[in-house]
Amino acid sequence: MPVENASPFAAPIAEQIWDMKYRLKDLSGTPKDVTVQDTWRRIAKDLARVEADPAAWEDRFYAALEGFKFLPAGRIIAGAGTGRDVTLFNCFVMGTIPDSMAGIFDMLKEAALTMQQGGGIGYDFSTLRPKGAPVMGVAADASGPLTFMDVWDSMCRTIMSAGSRRGAMMATMRCDHPDIEEFITAKQDSKRLRMFNLSVLITDPFMDAVKADADWPLVFGGKTFRTVKALDLWNRIMQSTYGYAEPGVIFIDRINKANNLGYCETISATNPCGEQPLPPYGACLLGSVNLARLVINPFTEKAELDANALDELVRTSVRMMDNVVDASKFPLPQQEAEAHAKRRIGLGVTGLADALLMLGLRYGAEDAVRQTRVWMKAIARSAYLASVDLAKEKGAFPLFDAKKYLKSGFMQKMDKDVRDAIAQHGIRNALLTSIAPTGTISLYAGNVSSGIEPVFAYAYTRKVLQKDGSRTEEEVVDYAVQMWRDLYGDAALPDYFVNAQTLAPKDHVAMQAAAQEWVDSSISKTINCPEDISFEDFKDVYMAAWDLGCKGCTTYRPNDVTGSVLSVEPEKKTEPAPAPAPVAAAQPAPPLARDEVLQGETYKLKWPDSQHAIYVTVNDTMDADGTRRPFEVFINSKNMEHFAWTVALTRMISAVFRRGGDVAFVVEELKAVFDPRGGSWMKGKYVPSILAAIGNILEQHMTAIGFIADRSAIAQEVVDAPLASKPKGQACPSCGEFSVIHEDGCEKCTSCLWSRCG
C-alpha cells in the first residue's frame, strides 16, 4: 500500500479541486472549511439533521465520506450545510412542451429558472409540430421545433454570460418525427445549438425496421407526413455522429420497459449526459462509491475488493442520498413534488478501471467484464435491501404499488429474496442506481479513473495558473499508476494496463453492457473510436450496443471537427549541460534591418457572416544564408468593427517577426484562439476563430517560402501513451488550452478543470 502521509489528498490536483470547487468560503474568500475533514463534517451534519438521532448518523455518514470512499456529486459537496438557497440535485427533465406559443414560452421560463440554479436540463422537442404544418387560427405554417431550440440555446448563452454556473442541456427527438432529419444534422452548422447535446429517441419498431430494411413513416398528430427507408435514416444518424460526434442515440422503448415506475410515468428525455432517463419534471441526485478505495492487497495475488466494506458503504450511501431529497431546495415546485413522490436516487461507481487494474484485470477482457457484472449486482442488491430497510423505518415512496412495481423489466431479473422483501415491506426509493460522469469528483478523490471509463491516460502534464498570472506545469498521475509506482518504483507497468485510446470499441461496449445489466437507470459512457475506424465498423459499435442491451450509445471519434483525443510527446533525453561561460547581462536582440523593397504575398480572408473581407499581407526578408523568412504583416479590412484589433495584431506580429529567430510559434498561438460564439468551416476544415484563420494564412505562407516544414505531410498517430503523455483535444472555453477531452459522455478540460457538465 502507498505510504501514508499527513495529507488526506492523494495528489496535489485533488487538493486544488477541493479548494476551487468544494471548500466553503465566506464572501471575502476566507475559508470556513479549514481542512477537507471540515468539509466531510459539514456534509455529514447537514444530511443527518433529518434523522431521529442526528448525532449517531452524522458519525456514520462522516465515516463513509472519510478517505473519499463515498463521493456525493459535486453539487452536494459544495452546497450541503452551507446555508445557501441552492439545489443539491444534479439533473432535471423539464415538463412536456405544449404545442402552443404560450406553452412554449412558459417552458422556456421554467428552463431559465432551473438553469439559474445550475441544474442540467433535458427536453423532448418531439411534441412540437413539424416545419410547414398549419397553425390553426393564424393562417400560417409552423416553423418547426428546431427554431424553438434556437431560442433555448440563446437563453442558455444569456445565463452563461451573466456569470452563472453553466447548466448543460439535452434535446431529444423521436425517430418518427417529421423533422428528425433536420434534427440529426442541426449541429453540423458550427454556430448552431452549441449549448445542447442532441440524442435521437430510438424505438424498438424502428430497430426492427432497420434490420429488415423496411419503410419507416414520419408522423405527427396521427398524420403521416412522408415515408423513408429506416436503414437510410439510421445511416444518416450514423454519418452525422461519425463525422460530428452527435447526435447520440437513446433506446427509449428499452428504457420504459425496464423502468420500475412504468406504471405511473412515461420517459421521453434524459439529463444532459444521459445517465438519468426522467419523466416530465423528474429530478435526480447523484453519488458514487469509489471502488478504487475498497481494494485490499492491490497488485498482489491476494488482491480483492472488500465485499463487506462495499455492502456497508452502499447501505450508508443510500441513506445519505435519501436524506438529500428532504434536505434539498428545488428550482420549481413541480420538481420538488416529483422528487418527493418517487424519491429517485442515482448511486453509481467511480474508480472501476483502477480497481480492475489492482486485481490484475484488463479493462474489456472477459474476466474484467465478469468481475464488473459481479460488483454491479452486489451494489444493486445492497442498495435495494437498504432501501427496503428505510421503507420499514420511514415508509415507502408515496406512489409505490407493490404488484405493479415488481412487474417492471428490471425487477423481473432481481433476486427472489430482494423481490420478496419489497413485496412485504415496500421500498423507500423507486430507482436507486445510475452511473454518472465523475470527472471532477474523481480528480478530487486522487485522480481515480472516472465512472466506469477506462483510464484515460496514465499521466499527463497540466498547466496551473499561478497568482502572478504565470503558468507552471505539474504531472497528474492516475491513482492506480501512482499506487504501482509507490509499490514497485520504476518497474514497467504490466500488459493489462490499458487506456481509452488503445482499447478496441468492442471492449468499451462490453463493459457498458455488463454494468447496465444491474443499473436500473442508465449510464454515462463514451466509447472511444480510432480516427481511422471504417464507417461500417463504426456502425457495428452502435448495433452491438443495441444487441447487448445498452440503453443508449455515445461515441467519440477524433477528427478535424471534434479535435484529437491524445497527443503523444516524445520523451526528451537528459544530457549533462556544459558549464556556462560568464556572460554580461542579456540584452534584447536588435531588430532586423529592413530593405527598401521586400517581396511578399497578399491573402484574402472571407470570414462567414462578415460583411467585408480581411486582407493579410506578409512581406519577407532574406537571412545571410539565403533562407527566406517572414519580416512584417499588414492586416486590413473595410469593416470598422475589426479596426482596433487588426492594427494591434499588425504591430505585435511585425514586432516579433523583426526580432528574427524561430517565429513559427506565432502560428500556433493564433491557431489556438477560439471564439466562444463558434468558429466556421473553411475549405472543409473547422476553424475556431478569425484569429485562427489568420494563423492558418501565416502557416500557409511560411510553408510556401520554406520557413517551416509542410505539416500536412506529418501523420499524427495515436499510440499507447507513455507516462510523459498528455491529453490534447478541443480548445477550452475557459482557459483556451487545447485540453478538452471527452469522457463519461461529457467534456472536461484537463488544464483548468472546466467541465461542460459542471
Select the more confidently predicted residue: 464 or 664.
Answer: 664
Q: Which pLDDT value is given to residue 166? A: 55
Q: Which pLDDT value is given to residue 3? A: 46
187 vs 352: CA distance, rounded Å: 33
Residue-by-residue DSSP string for 562-614: TB-SEEPPPPPPP-PPPPPPP-PPP-PPPPPPPPSS-EEEEEEE--TT-SS-E
> Does the pLDDT value for residue 185 go beyond 50?
yes
Q: Which pLDDT value is given to residue 676? A: 57
Domain co-membership, 448 together with 344: yes
Q: Which pLDDT value is given to residue 636? A: 87
Q: Which pLDDT value is given to residue 727? A: 45
Average pLDDT over residues 513-535: 95
Average pLDDT over residues 509-533: 96
| Residue range 559-574, pLDDT digits in tens | 766 665 444 343 344 4
- For 631, the grid coordinates are 519580416
Domain co-membership, 239 together with 319: no
| Residue 310, CA distances (Å) to 40, 55, 293 in order | 19, 23, 10
> Does the pLDDT value for residue 207 go beyond 60?
yes
Q: Which pLDDT value is given to residue 730? A: 66
Domain co-membership, 121 together with 253: yes
Domain co-membership, 246 together with 313: no
Of all residues in the chain, what percent carry a pLDDT higher than 90? 62
Domain boundary residue, one of 238, 272, 306: 272
69 with 290: CB under 8 angstroms?
yes
Q: Which pLDDT value is given to residue 666? A: 87
Q: What is the pTM of this model?
A: 0.80
The DSSP letter of residue 287 is: E
Amino acid identity, position 552: G
Domain boundary residue, one of 272, 305, 339: 272
Q: Which of 20-34, 500-514, 591-605 is the least confident region?
A: 591-605
> Does the pLDDT value for residue 589 go beyond 70?
no
Average pLDDT over residues 278-289: 95
324 with 336: CB under 8 angstroms?
no
Ramachandran angles phi, psi of 325, nearest 5°: -55, -40
pLDDT band at 67 (very low <50, low <70, confident <90, very high): very high
E strand spans, 440-507 = 459-465, 471-477
Average pLDDT over residues 426-439: 95
Domain co-membership, 493 together with 376: yes
Query: Beta strand pairing status for 248-251 and 552-553?
Result: antiparallel
Q: Which pLDDT value is given to residue 109? A: 93
131 with 179: CB under 8 angstroms?
yes
Domain co-membership, 49 together with 139: no
Average pLDDT over residues 302-321: 98
Within a 13 Å sphere around the CA of 196, how many CA atoms are in the beta-carbon half? 33
Closest CA to 330 of 521, 79, 105: 79
Count the neighbouring beta carbons within 10 Å of the beta carbon of residue 488.
Answer: 12
- For 119, the grid coordinates are 441544474
97 vs 104: CA distance, rounded Å: 6
> Does the pLDDT value for residue 429 go beyond 90?
yes
196 vs 352: CA distance, rounded Å: 29
Classify residue 587: in a domain, yes or no: no
**418-450 core/surface letters (b: 16 or more CB in 10 A; e: else):** bbebbeebbbbbbbbbbbbbbbbbbbbbbbbbb
Classify residue 64: in a domain, yes or no: yes
Average pLDDT over residues 572-600: 58
Task: Look at the chain and count its residues.
Answer: 758
Classify residue 752: in a domain, yes or no: no
Q: Which pLDDT value is given to residue 713? A: 40
- Write the CB contacts of 185 (distance below 8 Å, at least 6 apart in sequence): 236, 240
Domain co-membership, 152 together with 169: yes
Average pLDDT over residues 258-277: 96
Whichever domain contains 403, its CATH number is 3.20.70.20
Domain co-membership, 68 together with 114: no
Amino acid identity, position 150: D
Which domain does 630 fall in, by range? Answer: 599-713
The DSSP letter of residue 215 is: E
Classify residue 457: in a domain, yes or no: yes
694 with 636: CB under 8 angstroms?
no
Domain boundary residue, one of 240, 272, 304: 272
Mean pLDDT of the chain: 87
Q: Which pLDDT value is given to residue 574? A: 41
Domain co-membership, 49 together with 118: no
| Residue 504, CA distances (Å) to 529, 530, 541, 646 in order | 7, 8, 10, 47
310 vs 571: CA distance, rounded Å: 40
357 with 498: CB under 8 angstroms?
no
pLDDT band at 610 (very low <50, low <70, confident <90, very high): low
The helix (H) or strand (E) run that includes residue 200 is: strand 196-202
> Does the pLDDT value for residue 497 go beyond 90?
yes
Reduce the DSSP state of residue 560 to 3 states and report it. coil
Classify residue 577: in a domain, yes or no: no
Domain count, the chain: 3
Q: Which of 375-379, 471-475, 499-503 is the least confident region?
A: 471-475
Q: Which pLDDT value is given to residue 466? A: 65
> Does the pLDDT value for residue 712 go beyond 50?
no
Q: Which pLDDT value is given to residue 637? A: 82
> Does the pLDDT value for residue 164 go beyond 60?
no
Classify residue 281: in a domain, yes or no: no
Average pLDDT over residues 552-560: 87
The DSSP letter of residue 729 is: -
Q: Which pLDDT value is given to residue 275? A: 94
Residues paired with residue 288 on neighbouring β-strands, in sequence order: 71, 348
Ramachandran angles phi, psi of 570, nearest 5°: -65, 140
Q: Which pLDDT value is given to residue 649? A: 86
pLDDT band at 609 (very low <50, low <70, confident <90, very high): low
Which sequence positions are flagged as catalytic? 271, 273, 275
245 with 557: CB under 8 angstroms?
yes
Domain co-membership, 446 together with 378: yes
Q: Which of 55-59, 224-228, 359-363, 568-572 is the least confident region?
A: 568-572
| Residue range 33-61, pLDDT digits in tens | 999 999 999 999 999 999 999 999 999 99
Q: Which pLDDT value is given to residue 297? A: 97
751 vs 665: CA distance, rounded Å: 20
- For 353, the grid coordinates are 478501471
The helix (H) or strand (E) run that includes residue 416 is: helix 416-425
Q: Which pLDDT value is given to residue 717? A: 31
| Residue range 616-637, pLDDT digits in tens | 999 988 877 777 889 999 998 8
Domain co-membership, 129 together with 262: yes
Count the neighbouring beta carbons within 10 Å of the beta carbon of residue 577.
Answer: 6
Classify residue 652: in a domain, yes or no: yes
Reduce the DSSP state of residue 476 to 3 states and report it. strand
Q: Which pLDDT value is given to residue 734? A: 60
Alpha-helical (H) ranges within 583-733 are 643-657, 665-671, 690-704
Domain co-membership, 38 together with 80: yes
> Does the pLDDT value for residue 736 go beyond 70?
no
Cis bond leading into 8, ω under 30°?
Answer: no
Amino acid identity, position 296: I
Classify residue 735: in a domain, yes or no: no
